[in-house]
Structure 1
């Protein structure tokens, strides 16, 4: 069931990830073409060659980072040890996989993160999977609207850190808020989802000693993962 949910999430992100890899490939090709053209004309200045090589190297690193994120997301992290995990890093890893899909479909993604990096005791792979699931859910919620707004927010509430994904979609009726976190329950059209993403998300949060809830904040639907905050050393 968990494997099915992960693969479903990867399928939803596939088109965006293809764009995210194809764009840097075009940069590499363009840089290589410039170098080849200069060589055919009789040579290239060392400074221009160095700039082209730096551009190619940086772009290769970008692609490698995306692939590393994909490999991490696709694997089962349920047996990983709990370690102090940076929420900024986790948010960054999730964005690597989701932001291209958002950008190419006209979804505005906002970040509301504290200056201070907050730590939680976590299996980092699982928390990245949690956030990707919530971002995929928010994407589906606003899909089809002319105004598409999603926000990732991190707030401290007492001894907890609250990781929130908010969207301006049609919302979740109060009577469905418990059901929507159950396995195989979905409000999406047939073929649009397995009904496992949110139930897996709840299992991940509860496995970290937290809780996943659905509320409304300022007219926005909010999925909130409340996790124990690691005290400062």
Structure 2
């Protein structure tokens, strides 16, 4: 192997301003090593006890994310990695391997720590390398978690959009079938000789029923009894189409209404009037269902737009903290219903606005609420309580679930990067680490208190930043 030269180290941008004597010291205390392609240079969990100066070739760093080994980054020649001065890391979080023949200069941690006292410029260069590495890794880590969160949301969102879309499709198809019946029904009704005042009476009953806003909500038993009464009345008047009874019951018609219409209709033509009326009521219901489903789709689309558009803002804006929480609940509604989870909101709607990046706060709420849902999964049901209040100079959000809880020995680790208690494929171990970083960027705090059946996260934002 060829020992590293002074010129090779001087060619590395991070070391170009370090005095020669300090670089010569770095050469003297280390060793130059060759790694063949495919060589595992270090494994996850190994002691972080060496500094690697990559002179030739490339090294790949891979970590476990979402249950799979994923490439975190590729380190090229003239890159410095491994242990760096003042690093608090004790063990490697990933593994490194040579993806082509690689030559590197290795220096043990003890020698680097010794150099801190002897060589100021060298130490400053290595510290600068560390801060750049942390910044780049943090940015990539946050983006990875954001994409993972969006992936989880998109699955539920697809279900949420599919339901109203399917309802619109069914309603439009059924409405088309009903419209096809109109010409024949019109012929029968047009042939009737009904006095104008009688027509007005029938029309008055119909309009009142369709426009009634305070229609009582019937239980299943009450609805069945009403349909039976209407069916019996129709049978007594030789009308065999019992679908009419179902449509009339939907709009709250009673046998008294039928008696009134019967008195306004020439005998035995009541069936023609009821056919026309039933067709009209069915169309009214279909249009109402289509309108409701369209509104649901519009609500979901608006939630998505609100959830994601904030990332365009590079400066913090004053915002109502409840808007982001409610949008997140809308986005996670499918998962909440699937988990049979009841949401209880206890919001102080008079809270002052918080100065923040809404897109980043939405990421906080998504991670925390999604974790709470997962914690209640084993129970088959649960209660998610979200409370907001003003605590002196802080706006505080409390997110509580009645899931399995977090063991005491785990609570100190849950905010660490890559730590997860979820099954393989369900978590990256980045969520709460990203949550912590975002909240700190907003000068806020996050803490947790947990016992089995009661876990509560508290997030507080200072108003002084406003």
Distance 1:105 1:204 in 2: 28
Corresponding residue of 2:161: 21
Corresponding position: 1:4 with 2:144: yes
Q: 1:184 to 1:76 in 2, by over 3 A?
A: farther
RMSD, matched Cα = 3.0
Which secondary structure does the structure 2 equivalent of 1:62 belong to? helix
Q: 1:157 offset after TM fit, Å?
A: 1.0
- Alignment of 1:174 with 2:174, yes or no, is no
- Spell out, residue by residue over 1:32-86, the C-alpha distance to the aligned partner (whole angstroms, 9 max, x if none): 1232122211269999867755653453343243234345546782853211111
Native 8 Å contact 2:401 2:453 kept in 1: no
Q: How does 1:164-203 map to 2 (within 5 A)?
A: 164-203=398-437
Deviation at residue 155 of structure 1 after TM alignment: 1.8
TM-score by length of 2: 0.45
What is the match of residue 15 of structure 2? none
| 1:155 and 2:389 matched | yes
Matches of 2:430 and 2:299, distance apart in 1: 27
CA distance in 2, matches of 1:78, 1:30: 38
- Matches of 1:46 and 1:142 in 2, distance apart? 46
What is the Cα deviation at residue 226 of structure 1? 0.5
Residues 31 and 161 of structure 1, relative CA distance in 2, 3 Å threshold: same
**Unaligned 5+ runs, structure 1:** none
Aligned to 2:5: none
Counterpart in 1 of 2:174? 34
1:103 pairs with one of 337, 346, 349:
337
> Greater CA radius of gyration, 1 or 2?
2
**CA, structure 1 residues 125+51, in 2 after alignment: closer, same or farther (shift >3 Å)?**
farther
Superposed CA offset, 1:67-125 (max 9, x none): 34345546782853211111221121111101221112212222111242542111112
- Structure with more contact order per residue of length (Cα contacts < 8 Å, sep ≥ 6): 1
CA contact (8 A) 1:17 1:101 kept: no
Specify whether residues 173 and 55 from structure 1 end up closer, same or farther in structure 2 by C-alpha distance, changes over 3 A only.
Answer: same
Task: Give me the whole-angstrom Cα distance separating, in 1, the residues matched to 2:352 and 2:334.
Answer: 26
Report the Cα offset of residue 23 of structure 1: 1.5
Deviates more, 1:159-168 or 1:109-118: 109-118
Length-normalised TM-score, structure 1: 0.84
Q: Distance in 2 between matches of 1:217 and 1:189?
A: 21
1:128 aligns with 2:362: yes
Unaligned runs of 5+ in 2: 1-140, 184-275
Q: Name the SS of the counterpart of 1:41 in structure 2.
A: helix
Give the conservation status (yes or no) of the 8 Å contact 1:9–1:133.
Answer: yes
